[in-house]
Structure 1
Amino acid sequence: MSRPAGPRDRWLLAGAAVVALVATAGSLFLSEVWGLYPCDLCWYQRILMYPLVVVLGVAAYETRPRVYRTVLPLSGVGLAVSTYHSWLQATSDGSCGFGGGCAAIQYRLEPLGLTVPNLALVAFALVTAAGVVLWRRA
């Protein structure tokens, strides 16, 4: 038997939605305003992150903590892709088997030294953590 949703669930859902929204807006800003071209792995990460904005936003509005069933597959795969992408950047010469320059570093957030895939990794980790908390509470 599941427990009723509470205000903590709504805040957790809203926080995860904000993380997904900031990641989405950031990726769009980097490509549309600064003109950075997303590689193939970046596109996969976008495909997995963008729907999370809507899914988590609606779930927060309606306080639907069981949304973890949708969130965890998307964020879990996104976490794996961004981890692999970050690993490629840390260990490769600038090319990969996914259509070119997936390992090339186009932007680094200073003073932290985080690259775009590193930022995606943080976002996917936060959303995945929120999904796991919701799953454990259910």
Structure 2
Amino acid sequence: MDFIIVSLGSLYFSEIMHFVPCALYWYQRIFMFPLAIILGVAVFKDGISAYRYALPLSIMDMFISGYHTMIQKVPYFQEFEMCTSGVPCSTDYINWLGFITIPILALVAFSIITVSLFILLFKKDSLSN
């Protein structure tokens, strides 16, 4: 269910709110949309083996959104910002409660997906023993 919320949230911010995504956000989308398809198919098929394909994508997305969060929240990391043209990655489109930004929302969502996939992996291992 998280993968649906993440995909719809991404589309809402870019298509309805007209927030222009930075380069890091595009990289997050590259890993996010296949994840939505893989986990969506896993709901209807053998969901136990979905971790093989989804786990690397969610871990990569977690690292990218973590790095994006560091660029926005830690001034030292702004020196290593990779967005040189277009929208800078340090731009805060939303800032709820003074600390919740789009990369933090993505980091939380992909952390939940990653933990859920690890639980699925360990459950599969315990079922096979």
Rounded Cα–Cα distance in structure 2 between residues aligned with 1:38 and 1:126:
23
1:62 Cα deviation after fit = 1.4
Aligned to 1:79: 62
SS of 1:99 mapped into structure 2 = coil
Question: In the alignment, which of 51, 54, 71 is matched to residue 37 of structure 2?
Answer: 54
Q: List runs of 5+ in structure 2 lacking aligned partners.
A: 125-129
Aligned length: 120
Unaligned runs of 5+ in 1: 1-17
RMSD: 1.7
Farther off after superposition, 88-97 or 66-75: 88-97
Contact 1:79 1:124 in 2 (8 A): yes
**What's the TM-score, normalizing by structure 2?**
0.85
Q: Percent identity?
A: 34
1:112-127 alignment, distance < 5 Å: 113-127=99-113
Q: CA deviation at 1:63?
A: 3.4
Measure how far apart 1:97 and its partner are. Answer: 1.8
Offset, 1:95 = 7.9
**Residue 105 of structure 1 aligns with which residue?**
92
Q: Structure 1, residues 73-119: CA drift from partner, whole Å, max 9, x if none? A: 000000000000001100135981233401111112x3373100000
Distance (whole Å) between structure 2 residues aligned to residue 76 and residue 49 of structure 1? 11
| Contact kept? 1:39, 1:99, Cα under 8 Å | no
